Amino acid sequence: MGASVPEEAAFAHEVRRGEPILEVRELVKHFPLTKGVVFKKQVGAVKAVDGVSFDLMQGETLGIVGESGCGKSTLAKVLMNLEPASSGSVRYKGEEISRLSGAGLKAVRRNIQMVFQDPYTSLNPRMTVGDIIGEPFEIHPEVAPKGGRRKAVEDLLDVVGLNPEYINRYPHQFSGGQRQRIGIARGLALKPEIIICDEPVSALDVSVQAQVINLLEQLQSEFNLSYMFIAHDLSIVRHISDRVGVMYLGKMVEIGTDAEIYDHATHPYTQALLSAVPVPDPQARESRDRIVLTGDVPSPANPPSGCRFRTRCWKAQERCALEVPPLSSPSWLDGLAVHDSACHFAAEREAEPGGAAGPPETV
Ligand SMILES: Nc1ncnc2c1ncn2[C@@H]1O[C@H](COP(=O)(O)OP(=O)(O)OP(=O)(O)O)[C@@H](O)[C@H]1O
Ligand code: SF4
Ligand SMILES: [Mg+2]
């Protein structure tokens, strides 16, 4: 299918549940670092996303987790076509996004939507919620023709659990959780197939976080949506994700199903993140060893050679500085430990009292 087909016909074919709707291969986004005012000279690059590959399956929620600055939002922006990729491939329903223009590109923009982190800054304070939610209809009038827009917005308010009578109110008249519901309603307006949620609950109180996550889950089954759900830590994505990908310094270091990542993680970085997840059961908490990572995350403009995690990894050996570990399933593991992990010495962490499998807390 080329770029010249009418928008309604573009990507009309169905992708069945469990099949990839988005295929990302070796995606790279480098931001050039320049010197000089008049004659700008490139002196390096921030390697924000540096060779990331994964599939997003139809109907699934893929959680993406990693510390601040590891490239999560940049990844989202490149997938949304808000930033051009430096190299690599993103296929939506089999079509290379970067090669699309005209109706094809418009259709992708309609079918992949984003919900942003901060409901305080992502909504224009001078617009009513009706205008905010209905704004996408200006670009895609075929979804809600002029006479039917008010009704379409009222329906969307209802779908996200807000009173349709609030249509003429302004963002400041809503609480944080309600504003995020407005952001979600706007994301749903064009009836997308994929929603990329970039830390949608991070700015909200814990009690409100659960409500927004429940709403997203309910909408997913109602509208057959596929989600990418970005978060800082593993505890937030646990309940909503079918699979989880862990990022470190522009790379995907481990990816697998819920059970594979939470109960059989094989990458030291994932194990460190998991050890910091709060455990409600006091007994389980006592028997668990916290892995405290030392040192700062290196600069993405000058990442370590070989494995990028090696400067903070307690298992690092000479080989780790020389060879980039591929994201693949290690042949020496079995059971649920067999999933993609970018570590030369991938292994499950042994639950030994005394923490033999991790560094002492005070290292
Ligand atoms: N437009 C830009 N120009 C230059 N560097 C950028 C730009 N956008 C992001 N970066 C850099 O790219 C790296 C990744 O940033 P990104 O915002 O994707 O991280 P993140 O994982 O979303 O972090 P956070 O959890 O704080 O939101 C950071 O070092 C950031 O400073
Ligand atoms: S490859 Fe080496 S440095 Fe990287 S995570 Fe594995 S053991 Fe640690
Ligand atoms: Mg971010």
**pLDDT per residue as tens digits for the range 89-108:** 999 999 999 888 888 888 89
336 and 235, same structural domain?
A: no
321 and 282, same structural domain?
A: yes
Q: Is residue 363 scored above 50 in pLDDT?
A: no
CB 275 within 8 A of CB 293: no
328 and 232, same structural domain?
A: no
pLDDT tens by residue, 128-177: 999 999 999 999 998 988 888 999 999 999 999 999 999 999 999 999 99
225 and 272, same structural domain?
A: no
Ligand 1 atom closest to residue 250's alpha carbon, by position in its atom list: 14
215 and 336, same structural domain?
A: no
Which ligand sits closest to the CA of 232? 1
Structure tokens at 216: 């997203």
CB 300 within 8 A of CB 48: yes
Domain that holds residue 281: 265-341
Instruction: Answer yes or no: is 349 within a domain.
Output: no
pLDDT tens by residue, 251-286: 999 999 999 999 999 999 999 999 988 777 676 666
212 and 69, same structural domain?
A: yes
Ligand 2 atom closest to residue 315's alpha carbon, by position in its atom list: 7
Residues whose CB is less than 8 angstroms from the CB of residue 362 and which lie 6 or more positions away in sequence, other chains included: 292
CA 217 / ligand 1 centre spacing (Å):
28
Q: Is residue 188 scored above 70 in pLDDT?
A: yes
Task: Please indicate whether residue 215, judged by its CB atom, sits closer than 6 Å to ligand 1.
Answer: no
Phi-psi region of 241 (alpha: psi -120 to 50; beta: other; left: phi over 0): beta
Ligand 2 atom closest to residue 307's alpha carbon, by position in its atom list: 4
For 33, other C-beta atoms within 10 Å of its C-beta total 12
337 and 217, same structural domain?
A: no
DSSP notation for 167-234: GG--GGGS-HHHHHHHHHHHHHTT--SEEEEESTTTTS-HHHHHHHHHHHHHHHHHHT-EEEEEESSH
For 69, other C-beta atoms within 10 Å of its C-beta total 15
Total structural domains in the chain? 2
Banded pLDDT at 359 (limits 50, 70, 90) = low
Q: Is residue 356 scored above 60 in pLDDT?
A: no
Instruction: Answer yes or no: is 15 within a domain.
Output: no
283 and 139, same structural domain?
A: no
Task: Please indicate whether residue 203, judged by its CB atom, sits closer than 6 Å to ligand 2.
Answer: no
Q: Give the pLDDT of residue 284.
A: 66
Query: What's the predicted TM-score (pTM) here?
Result: 0.91
328 and 193, same structural domain?
A: no
CA 241 / ligand 2 centre spacing (Å):
26
Task: Please indicate whether residue 325, judged by its CB atom, sits closer than 6 Å to ligand 2.
Answer: yes
Ligand 1 atom closest to residue 230's alpha carbon, by position in its atom list: 22
